[in-house]
Amino acid sequence: MSIRHALLSLQTFPDAVPDRVLESACALAQLLSAGLTVQLPQLDSDRSTWPPVMGAFPLDFPNLMQELVTKSEANASATAESLARIAPNYGVNTDVRRLLTTAYAAPAPVTDLARLHDLTILPVPEADGFGPSCVQAVLFGSGRPVVLLPSQRRRLQALERITVAWDYSREAARALADALPLLKRAREVHVVTVLGEKHVKTHATRGDLEKFLTAHALRYSLHNVALDGDDIGPFLMDHAVAADANLLVMGAFGHSRLREFVLGGATRAVLHDPLLPVFLSH
């Protein structure tokens, strides 16, 4: 698999994403020699699309919504201007798609477009204060890998060191294969197996894993580490940060049940508060 066509989905309300997120996305696209489609939604000013008000409301809801619409439009324009300034510095071709959206918009526009891109880049946390994050829908519904960019952490500048979470599961195998274009660019790939968290039955051996990594000419090292504490997600992220990794690669565990996503512990922790950029695949 090669990554030549990436999607960056942003938000414009209640706040715009900071420039460091745009810089991280452009840096990643540059490293992959990929074009970047930028999806930039803004709140629709048509009042018929606004959420209905149920019962007594302590604020002037129409005025509140109009303020958010105005702010969303201003944020969208400011973000488009920032991209026009930042992308050329990285030599990245961008296709900016501005579109109208609603406060409780379904994730379908992002998911559908993600299916026609090799990779989707999403800022976290998503600053959509009205509804649930679309990250889960894209991750489990697009059939494509996702990179989460923490909005409040250091920006992604290089792929010198990458940590890969490995437990012989289907999800870990999918993530490892999907991340190969990034792993080939890394100077160090640390493949980490956490002991004591769970046991995955496998007939494969450490030697088989080494043959796979060697066949793809990766500069790797294998590490078995004992789980320190009960939460695998924070442990993996702390381990990657301690190794000064630029990126954490891991499989996403979860499935949809009655329109709600049931997530594995590590996936839930990473989606909630990633400490570094994370490559997820399901």
**At residue 197, does pLDDT exceed 80?**
no
Domain, as residue range, for 41: 5-150
* Final residue in a domain of this structure, among 150, 179, 200: 150
Q: Is residue 51 domain-resident?
A: yes
**At residue 191, does pLDDT exceed 80?**
yes
Provide the greatest CA pair distance for the chain: 66
**At residue 125, does pLDDT exceed 80?**
no
What is the CATH number for 230?
A: 3.40.50.620
What is the predicted pLDDT for the residue at 240?
94
pLDDT digit string, tens, across residues 7-28: 999 988 888 889 999 999 999 9
Question: What is the number of domains present in the chain?
Answer: 2
Q: How confident is the model at residue 198 (pLDDT cuts 50, 70, 90)?
A: low
Short-list 269, 251, 249, CA closest to 171:
251
Calculate the average pLDDT of the chain: 86
What is the predicted pLDDT for the residue at 173?
95
Same domain, 145 and 167: no
* Final residue in a domain of this structure, among 150, 169, 200: 150
CB 148 within 8 A of CB 31: no
Pairing of β 146-150 and β 119-124: parallel
Q: Is residue 110 domain-resident?
A: yes
Same domain, 144 and 103: yes
What is the predicted pLDDT for the residue at 53?
67
Contacts of 145 (CB under 8 A, 6+ apart): 119, 120, 175, 178, 179, 279, 280, 281
* Final residue in a domain of this structure, among 118, 150, 182: 150
Same domain, 166 and 146: no
Same domain, 146 and 175: no
The 3 state secondary structure assigned to the chain is: CCCCEEEEECCCCCCCCCHHHHHHHHHHHHHHCCEEEEEEEEECCCHHHCCCCCCCCCCCHHHHHHHHHHHHHHHHHHHHHHHHHHHHHHCCCEEEEEEEECCCCCCHHHHHHHCCCCEEEEEECCCCCCCCCCHHHHHHHCCCCEEEEECCCCCCCCCCEEEEECCCCHHHHHHHHHCHHHHCCCCEEEEEEEECCCCCCCCCCHHHHHHHHHHCCCCEEEEEEECCCCCHHHHHHHHHHHCCCCEEEEECCEEEECCEEEECHHHHHHHHCCCCCEEEEC
Q: Is residue 156 domain-resident?
A: no
Helices 265-272, 232-242: axis angle to 10 degrees equals: 60
Same domain, 77 and 140: yes
pLDDT digit string, tens, across residues 227-271: 877 688 888 999 999 999 999 999 987 655 434 444 455 666 777
What is the predicted pLDDT for the residue at 182?
97
Same domain, 209 and 251: yes
Q: In Å, what is the CA distance from 123 to each residue of 133, 147, 199, 280? A: 10, 8, 32, 13
How much of the chain, in percent, has pLDDT values that exceed 70? 87
Is the C-alpha dihedral spanning 199, 200, 205, 207 positive or negative?
A: negative
pLDDT digit string, tens, across residues 67-76: 888 999 999 9
Same domain, 72 and 42: yes
Mean pLDDT calculated for residue range 208-233: 92
Same domain, 99 and 197: no
Q: Which two tokens stand for residue 59?
A: 């604020």
**At residue 134, does pLDDT exceed 90?**
no
Pairing of β 161-165 and β 119-124: unpaired
